[in-house]
Structure 1
Amino acid sequence: MDAMRAITIPEPGGPEALVLADVPTPEPGPGEVRIRVVAAGVNRADVMQRRGFYPPPPGASPYPGLEVSGVVDALGAGVTQWSAGDQVCALLTGGGYAENVIAPAAQCLPIPTGVSVTDAAALPEVACTVWSNVFMTANLTAGEVLLVHGGSSGIGTMAIQLGREAGARVAVTASSRTKLDVCRDLGAEILIDYRTEDFVERVRAATNGHGADVILDNMGAKYLARNLDALALDGRLVVIGLQGGVSAELNLSLLLSKRAAVHATSLRSRPLTQKAAIVAAVREHVWPLLEAGRLRPVIHAAYPLARAAEAHQEMEASGHIGKLLLHP
C-alpha cells in the first residue's frame, strides 16, 4: 500500500504530541475525492483534538486538520462534479495535516479567481462557519449591529468582512491596538480592547443603547451573562467556541424580556447533508465576493508540515492575526 506523510497524535498532550509519520495513503469511497494537499488550515479545534478534548467523529480520519486546498488526484464512485487535476479547497471532518486527504465531493469548492491555491486553504472553515452561523442561523440583515468576539482571528476577520458586505455595523473585541487596527481596516466600526474596556458598555454607548442584534461568540461560559446584557431586543447570540469555559448560569428572565435567542453550534459534527448545504450556500453567496475582490483571506504565517508543533504554539500564544497554514 502506498504511504504518505501525516501529522499523527499518538498520545494527547502539548504541541510536542504532534508527530510526523508515514501512514497509508487513503482511498476515496463513493461520493468522495482524494486531494493532494497544497496547504492546510490550522484551527483551534485542532489544538483541542491534540489535547484530547475534541475527538474526531466516528469514521473520520484520526489526524487533525479541518480544511485544505490542493489538487484532486482520485475520484470515488459516483463523483461527476470534479475531475482529476481540478484545483479545489475543501471542508473536512479531519485528516488535513497530511500529504493526501479524502473529502466528500459536496464539501469541495473551486479555488476562487484571484486567490492562490495556497491561500485558499484559509477559506473553507471560516467561510462555512461564519456564513452558517451569522447568516443561516442568526439571519443578520442590513442595518443591524454585529458583535464579533476575537475579531482578529481567522473566523473574526471573515465575519467582519461579510458583516460589512451585508450592510451591518460591525463591532469587535480584541486584545491589542494592533489587532484592532487590522479589524478597522477590514470594516469594523466599533473597536473594543477587552483587556481595558467593558464590551457591554461600549456596544451600548456606540449604538445609543440599542445593543448588538447578533453576537458571534468564541468564549462560551465566561461571556454568556455579558453577551446577554449586550444583546438588543430580538437579539441572537451564537456560541461557536468554549475558550472561556463550558458552564454558566443563564438569566431566563432577561432572555424572555429581550425576546432573545441563544444558539450553540458545531460545524464538524453536522451530518453530510447539512455540510453540503452550507458549502453550496457559501459557493453561492461568499465566492462571488472573493472573486470580485470584496473579501480576502487574512493569513498570518505558513509552516512546513514537519513544524506543525510551532504553528500550534503560535496559535496558543494568540498573537497571530488571521489564519495559520501548513504546507506538506
Structure 2
Amino acid sequence: MQRVIKPAGQFNIQLEDVPVPEPGPGEVRIKAVRSLISRGSEIGARYTRTHAVSPEIMGYSLAGTVDVLGAGVDCYDIGDPVVALAPHAEYAVRPAVLSSTAEQPQVFPILDGVDFDQAPYWPLVAGAVTWVDIEEIGNNDTVVILGQGLVGSLMLQVARHNGQGRLIAVDALESRCALAEEFGADAVVNAAAEDPVAALRRLTRGAGADIVVYAVGGPAGLAVFDQGLDMLAPGGLLHLIGLYEDAPLPLSSGKIQRRKILGGYYGEGIGSGTAYRAMQLLRNGAIQTERMTTHRMPFTEAARAFDLLYNNMGEALGVLLDWEA
C-alpha cells in the first residue's frame, strides 16, 4: 500500500510503499477514501521540520470503509463507513472497541447523510465542540476568535450553532474573513486592514472581550497572542488553542492581572458523547465543510498539497486527499 511519509529534510513529503497492515484483537482495518490535511499540526509540526517524522503521526483525519475485523470486534461490519484518527495511507489499522464512554474513540461510524468529503473533518469538529464547551459562553458574552483557519472557523460555527454570545472573528486574510461573515460571525475584523485591538475596543465601546480564543499558532502567533491579551476585559478568559510558535509567548504579568488563561483541553476530553455531537453537526449542516474545502487532490499529489497549504494560505484552507483517484 501507499502512505505519506516525511523523511529527514524540510518540506520533504514523499510516498512510500509498505505492506498492508493486519488488525489485531479489538482492531479494524480501514480502506481509505479521503483524508484531510490539518494545517496547524501537519505544517507547523511536521512539514516545516528538518527531522524525520513518524508515519504514524502524518495525519489524523481519515475516512473510509471497514475492510477487515480483528478478533472480538462486534460493533462494526465489513463495509461500514467510518472515520478514524489515522494517518494519510491507503489502509489504516485502529482500535475499535472502547473501555468507557469517556475514552476518545479512534474510530467512529459515519452517520447517514454524511459523505466522505465531510467525514474527515470529524476529529477537528469534535475538538471544536469540546473547546467551546470548556469556555461556557454566556448569552451576553463577547467572544473574539483570533484566527479563522480550520480550527478557528470550526469553533466559530460550533459557537454559532449553540446560539450563545456575540462572536467576533479576526483574521488577516480576506478570504477567511469573508467565510467568517458567511458563517455567521456578528462582526469580522480584517487584521491586515486595521488594528484589531482598536477595532475590538470600538466594537465593545472600550469594554473588551469576555473570552478571547487564540487559534493562530505558528510564528505569526506571537504578536497575535499579545493582541489577544490587550483585547481581554477584566475577569475575562483567554483560551489558548494555537501551538508551534517556536518561541515563548509574550505573557506580561501586568496584562494578565484579573484575567485567566486556559490551555486547550484543560479539564475535558473527547468521549463518545462529544464524538457523536460532532458527527451530528456534520449531518445537520451546522458545519459547512463544502465551503471550507478548497482543494481535493489525488493522494499521489500529496507533496503538492502540502506545498499549497504552506505557500498559499489565502487560497487553501481545507485540502482533502483522494485515495480512490
Indicate the residue corresponding to 1:237 in structure 2: 238
Note if 1:288 corresponds to 2:288. no
Partner of residue 81 from structure 2, selected from 84, 87, 90:
87
Note if 1:43 corresponds to 2:42. no
Cα–Cα, structure 1 residues 176 and 246, in superposed 2: closer, same or farther, change >3 Å?
A: same
- Give 1:223 deviation, angstroms: 2.2
Note if 1:162 corresponds to 2:158. yes
AA in 2 matched with 1:288: Q
Cα–Cα, structure 1 residues 53 and 146, in superposed 2: closer, same or farther, change >3 Å?
A: farther
Instruction: Supply the distance in 2 between the matched residues of 1:82 and 1:19 (Cα, whole angstroms).
Output: 32
Spell out the pairing of 1:54-133 with structure 2 (5 A cutoff). 61-62=55-56, 64-92=58-86, 96-105=87-96, 106-121=105-120, 123-133=121-131
Cα–Cα, structure 1 residues 181 and 223, in superposed 2: closer, same or farther, change >3 Å?
A: closer
Instruction: Supply the distance in 2 between the matched residues of 1:22 and 1:280 (Cα, whole angstroms).
Output: 34
User: 1:142 touches 1:166 (CA, 8 Å); kept in 2?
Assistant: no
- Between stretches 170-179 and 297-306, larger displacement belongs to 170-179
User: 2:7 touches 2:52 (CA, 8 Å); kept in 1?
Assistant: no
Instruction: Supply the distance in 2 between the matched residues of 1:200 and 1:207 (Cα, whole angstroms).
Output: 11
The alignment of Structure 1 onto Structure 2 pairs a total of residues equal to 305
Note if 1:202 corresponds to 2:199. yes
Instruction: Supply the distance in 1 between the matched residues of 2:147 and 2:51 (Cα, whole angstroms).
Output: 21
Partner of residue 193 from structure 1, selected from 173, 187, 190:
190
- Give 1:69 deviation, angstroms: 0.6
AA in 1 matched with 2:129: W
Counterpart secondary structure, 1:109: strand
Indicate the residue corresponding to 1:319 in structure 2: 314
Counterpart secondary structure, 1:285: helix
Indicate the residue corresponding to 1:306 in structure 2: 300
CA RMSD of aligned residues (A): 2.6
Cα–Cα, structure 1 residues 256 and 143, in superposed 2: closer, same or farther, change >3 Å?
A: same
Indicate the residue corresponding to 2:223 in structure 1: 222
Cα–Cα, structure 1 residues 227 and 303, in superposed 2: closer, same or farther, change >3 Å?
A: same
AA in 1 matched with 2:195: D
Counterpart secondary structure, 1:301: strand
Instruction: Supply the distance in 2 between the matched residues of 1:236 and 1:202 (Cα, whole angstroms).
Output: 19
Which string of whole-angstrom CA distances, capped at 9 and with x for unpartnered residues, describes residues 138-165 of structure 1? 23343322222222x2222211211111
Instruction: Supply the distance in 2 between the matched residues of 1:78 and 1:53 (Cα, whole angstroms).
Output: 41
- List alignment gaps of at least 5 residues for structure 2: 97-104
Counterpart secondary structure, 2:304: helix
Note if 1:25 corresponds to 2:34. no
Counterpart secondary structure, 1:24: coil
- List alignment gaps of at least 5 residues for structure 1: none
- Give 1:135 deviation, angstroms: 1.8
Instruction: Supply the distance in 1 between the matched residues of 2:157 and 2:166 (Cα, whole angstroms).
Output: 11
- Between stretches 241-250 and 201-210, larger displacement belongs to 241-250
- Give 1:244 deviation, angstroms: 4.7
- Give 1:119 deviation, angstroms: 2.7
The alignment's TM-score, normalised by the length of structure 2, stands at 0.84
Indicate the residue corresponding to 2:264 in structure 1: 265
Which string of whole-angstrom CA distances, capped at 9 and with x for unpartnered residues, describes residues 27-82 of structure 1? 233433221110011012122213337986xxx74451111111011233443332
Cα–Cα, structure 1 residues 210 and 288, in superposed 2: closer, same or farther, change >3 Å?
A: farther
Instruction: Supply the distance in 1 between the matched residues of 2:50 and 2:271 (Cα, whole angstroms).
Output: 26
Instruction: Supply the distance in 2 between the matched residues of 1:238 and 1:246 (Cα, whole angstroms).
Output: 18
Which string of whole-angstrom CA distances, capped at 9 and with x for unpartnered residues, describes residues 272-316 of structure 1? xx7xx5152333433333323333212111111111111111111
Cα–Cα, structure 1 residues 208 and 76, in superposed 2: closer, same or farther, change >3 Å?
A: farther
Percentage of identical aligned residues: 27
Instruction: Supply the distance in 1 between the matched residues of 2:38 and 2:160 (Cα, whole angstroms).
Output: 24
Instruction: Supply the distance in 2 between the matched residues of 1:116 and 1:302 (Cα, whole angstroms).
Output: 14
AA in 2 matched with 1:296: Q
Instruction: Supply the distance in 1 between the matched residues of 2:239 and 2:197 (Cα, whole angstroms).
Output: 16
Instruction: Supply the distance in 1 between the matched residues of 2:240 and 2:90 (Cα, whole angstroms).
Output: 33
AA in 1 matched with 2:67: D
Cα–Cα, structure 1 residues 295 and 43, in superposed 2: closer, same or farther, change >3 Å?
A: closer
Partner of residue 183 from structure 1, selected from 180, 190, 202:
180
Counterpart secondary structure, 1:232: strand
- Give 1:87 deviation, angstroms: 0.3
